[in-house]
Chain A
Amino acid sequence: MSVQAPARARGRAPDRTGPTRIKGNGLAFWLFFTPFLVGLVVFTIVPLIWGATLSLFEAKGTVLPTDFVGLANFRHFLVDTAFLKSLRTFTVFALFIVPVTMVCSLGLAVLVNGLPRFQSFYRSVFFLPTACSYVVACVVWRLSLFNGLESGIVNQILGAFGLDAISQWLSASPYWWIVLVSVRLWLQVGFYMLLFLAGLQAIPSQLYEAAAVDGLSPGGFRMFRLITLPQLRTTFAAVLLLLLIAAFQAFDEFYNLTGNNPETRPPLVYLYNIALGSQQDFGTGSAGALVLTAIMVVAGLLQTGLLGFGSNDEGGRRFALRLRRGGRSAR
């Protein structure tokens, strides 16, 4: 290419700032960075600005603003009971899926971690559903496992325990939560198991040895409560936030299992129906997208503050240290 580096003085130690005096740096930087920058501008920044503009206008069935309506779209979106209902749906869903996934993934991680042989086989089996799409899982859940027929597999299992078969899995209130929660649990628990496994394997074995010397029985519950759980604090914080954010963005299984039912419509399905359903109300849809984005940016900031951007981040490490120190002094 045209950007040539002049020969650097031989034998000079490479400096920390790199080859600063190479001619044509400006051009090289932009050649490398422009493809991303153009895409970012066209498919992130322009849509954001356009959406923010549309949120202040009446725009039904058109992506061009027609009448300026101020904040009416926001008011319309926020006070609509349907939106509040979607937030309630998210809350109920999160109350089930977050603790259940947390406990199951930790349990699986502890179980797999305690297997001296065939560990990777069991890990693979529990991780396998992660490869499956929500749509495929919903096909199986809706038309096979929970199909409401007596021959359906879950009804067969209920029958084996002497319970009555249930026919309205997706049409009545407590039942649909079982379907919605179990499908997501099956799909995501393997992923969180891997995170907990990484956390477990990072606990120094000396801690267990020292605790055993202090009289705790190895592998016992007290050892688990006093050593393992406190050591997993950062993983817990991370998994909690990841699960909450993922639950807030739930769409696929609700769309494919219960559709547009207002009783089981999480925020994203509601937004989809405003913006791209029969109304095609892009004004209110854009306002709603901004509201949901704002909620998730706050959650994202929280996550960033808590965890930092990965393992070599200073903030994240300091936070982890603080958590561990806090945990120690609390005991």
Chain B
Amino acid sequence: MSAQMHIVGSGRRSTGLVLRYVVASVLALVFLIPFYAMVKTALSTNEEIYTSEFTFWPAHPQWQRIPELFADPLFLAALRNSAIMAAVSTSLSILIAALAGYALARIPHRAAKPMFMLVIIVLLVPATTAFVPNFIIVASLGWIGTLRGLIIPGLFSAFNVFLFRQFYLGFPREVEEAAYIDGAGFFRTFFTVVFPNTLPFASALTVLGLIGSWNAFLWPLVVAGNGQGAMTVQIYLSSFLTAQTFDYGGLFMAATISLLPVLLVFFILQRFLVAGIAATGLKG
């Protein structure tokens, strides 16, 4: 609130400001402690982890844990499955929702209204409790422990369809008109003119989708089965955590590595994320 800033007297203002920066910096450090603890433990020997004496940083950082983990076929399978899931489910769910949202917003049809009502009703059904009925259908299809079972049931988001419909309702009509006049059909218009102009809007959903599916836990746990066919990196970490592993250092290194891709996406695309939350969350 710049308005506050103008009016405050300069002496009080500067001490107040310094205090504010001190508080903010201390809090920022507190927020970073878990990351520090994670990396520190990942580099400590297991003996150091068990000792009752606190050390700020391990004396001999265990960097060799990184090549050891990348030689573990189970960890590699988990990373690969998570990457495939994040990429495929994010891109396909956005494409499916964009097509459906465009149909509802821009293609006049008798069914558009009832279909929109259907989307609204489905919006109210929470996705989390759906894991029981979804397990039933995925088990019946024989998809337990497969990437299909992991990815396909989550591709159809009524919420995203709703968001895309709202977006296309406000999309400038002139662009499409020009394409139609040039003789392009709905499909060509959509893929050559409309969808490319959707990408800035879709990028916020993409970031949220990438991070959300990489970090997803409940559904991957339900679908994982016994093999490694659908084991994601979160399930890999959780299985070692809940089984009381004794290689804490390895577990922390795996956790650190699993966090790196998300942090990368987060830093590169943060402005889309912030904009996306402001747009899809709510406004004050």
- CB within 8 Å of B: which residues of A? 1-5, 7-8, 10, 14, 17-20, 22, 24-26, 28-33, 35-37, 39-40, 42-44, 46-48, 50-51, 54, 63, 108, 111-116, 122-145, 149-151, 153, 156, 186, 191, 194-195, 198-203, 205, 208-209, 212, 218-219, 223, 231-232, 234-235, 238, 245, 249, 251-252, 255-256, 259, 268, 271-272, 275-276, 282, 285-286, 288-289, 292-293, 296-297, 300-301, 304, 307, 309-312
Contact = CB atoms under 8 A, between A and B. Distances in A.
A82 B146 CA distance: 33
Contacts of A20: 108
A48 to B, nearest CB: 6
Contacts of B41: 140, 143-144
B54 A43 contact: no
A251 B217 contact: yes
B2 A268 contact: no
A208 B3 contact: yes
B99 A35 contact: yes
Contacts of B129: 268, 271, 289, 292-293, 296
Nearest to A117: B21
Contacts of A232: 284
Interface size range on B against A: 35 or more
A310 B282 contact: yes
Most chain B CB within 10 A, of A111, A153, A200, A219, is at A219
A300 B38 contact: no
8 smallest CB-CB distances across A and B, nearest first, come from A199-B284, A47-B133, A51-B133, A39-B156, A133-B215, A32-B103, A36-B100, A1-B187
Given A29-B111, A131-B262, A194-B278, A36 B99 contact: yes
Nearest to A291: B129
Contacts of A219: 4, 8, 16
A50 B174 CA distance: 46
Given A141-B34, A219-B8, A151 B258 contact: no
Interface string B114-133: 01001000111110111111
B272 to A, nearest CB: 13
Contacts of B23: 111
A218 to B, nearest CB: 4
Contacts of B55: 151
Interface stretch (B57-65, B67-75, B176-184, B198-206): B176-184
Given A128-B31, A143-B252, A238 B137 contact: no
26 contacts: A1-B185, A2-B185, A5-B184, A22-B180, A25-B107, A25-B109, A28-B187, A40-B158, A51-B133, A54-B136, A116-B2, A131-B211, A131-B263, A131-B265, A133-B214, A135-B255, A140-B41, A142-B241, A144-B34, A153-B37, A198-B278, A208-B3, A209-B7, A234-B282, A307-B282, A310-B283
Interface in B23-37: 23-24, 27-28, 31-35, 37
A150 B124 CA distance: 47
B217 A134 contact: yes
A311 B282 contact: yes
B125 A297 contact: yes
Contacts, number: 352
A39 B185 CA distance: 25
B137 A138 contact: no
Contacts of B187: 1, 3, 28, 31
Contact of A8 (B181, B217, B281): B181
B76 interface: no
Contact of B24 (A17, A43, A115, A252): A115
A24 B109 CA distance: 10
A25 B110 CA distance: 10
Contact of A235 (B2, B4, B284): B284
A33 B258 CA distance: 36
B46 to A, nearest CB: 11
A42 B137 contact: yes
A26 B27 CA distance: 58
B280 A218 contact: no
Contacts of B217: 133-135, 251-252, 255
Nearest to B222: A276
A153 B96 contact: no
Interface in B176-226: 177, 180-181, 183-190, 211, 214-215, 217-218, 221-222
Given A22-B180, A135-B217, A310-B280, A33 B99 contact: yes
Contacts of B125: 44, 48, 293, 297
